[in-house]
Amino acid sequence: MSTAMQPLTQRSRQVSNKKMSLMERIYLPAIAKGMMITLKHFFTVKAATVKYPEELRPMSKVYRGMHVLKRDDQGRERCTACGLCAVACPAEAITMVADERKKGEEKLYREEKYASIYEINMLRCIFCGDCEDACPKEAIFLTDRLVPTDYQRRPFVYGKEWLVEPLDPSLRVDVSKRQTPEVLKFKEQRQYSHNR
């Protein structure tokens, strides 16, 4: 016994093979009707475009834009070149070279190991935030800063000079929108706690 096919949506229409009238064959009324709809939208619908860069589109509080490599309260780089962010990255956008901290460099690097080279290929990055989630040192965060455009490929490989935040406390990059009280409370749990 065959079962009748049920339509998945209500959008299907019966095809009509009836002969077109003269008015339908010259198409002009249909074109005029279409133009009326276009004109109506031209004068009544609010523009969806913004006059960037003078005007900025409102962004989500947790917009995932350009990364920052954070320093700690004493200005030392937090990253210890463990490579977890690179392993977590689905786009294989992160590369780094680890180095050992030498005597006298304790004020520069927080841990005994640090990244002498740390690069993110912004053309590969899909801004998923997995690197931020994987980092056990709270060293990397995505921010609401936009990656500037360019005509060349090479400038899109961002090194430490682009990624590490400035030493000047007044120029530090604020990540408190991502480190909300709820997130910090979550990290207090021993099994999820980060080495802060």
68 contributes a contact to ligand SF4 by CB under 6 A: no
127 contributes a contact to ligand SF4 by CB under 6 A: yes
Among 84, 119, 164, 178, binds ligand SF4 (CB under 6 A): 84
Q: How far apart are CA 115 and CA 49, in angstroms?
A: 42
Q: How far apart are CA 13 and CA 74, in angstroms?
A: 69
Nearer to ligand SF4, 83 or 155 (CB): 83
Q: How far apart are CA 150 and CA 161, in angstroms?
A: 17
Q: Give the type of residue at 180.
A: T
Q: How far is the CB of 58 from ligand SF4 (least distance, A)?
A: 22
- Tell me phi and psi for residue 86, to 5 degrees: -65, -40
Q: How far is the CB of 140 from ligand SF4 (least distance, A)?
A: 4
CA dihedral 148, 153, 159, 161 (to 10 degrees): -50
- Tell me phi and psi for residue 158, to 5 degrees: -90, 125
137 contributes a contact to ligand SF4 by CB under 6 A: yes
Which structure tokens are listed for 169? Answer: 């406390």
164 contributes a contact to ligand SF4 by CB under 6 A: no
157 contributes a contact to ligand SF4 by CB under 6 A: no
Q: How far is the CB of 103 from ligand SF4 (least distance, A)?
A: 22
131 contributes a contact to ligand SF4 by CB under 6 A: yes
Strand ranges of the sheet holding 94-100, from the earlier edge strand across to the other edge: 94-100, 113-121, 157-158
Q: How far is the CB of 144 from ligand SF4 (least distance, A)?
A: 14
Binding site for ligand SF4 (CB under 6 A): 79-85, 88-91, 93-94, 120, 125-131, 134-135, 137, 139-140
